Amino acid sequence: QADALMAGCPPPLVRSPRIMSEVYHCILTRLAARGWDAPRVRVRVPRLKLLWILLRNSIRRPGWLSRTAARPA
Sign of the CA dihedral 19, 24, 25, 29? positive
Q: What is the mean pLDDT of residues 56-71?
A: 56
Note the pLDDT of residue 61.
Answer: 59
- Residue 69 pLDDT > 80, yes or no? no
Q: Is pLDDT above 50 for 35?
A: yes
- Give me the pLDDT at residue 34, please: 86
* pTM for this entry: 0.68
- Averaged pLDDT for residues 45-62: 84
- Higher pLDDT among residues 6 and 39, named by residue: 6
- Residue 71 confidence (pLDDT) above 90: no
- CB-based contact 24:59 (threshold 8 Å): no
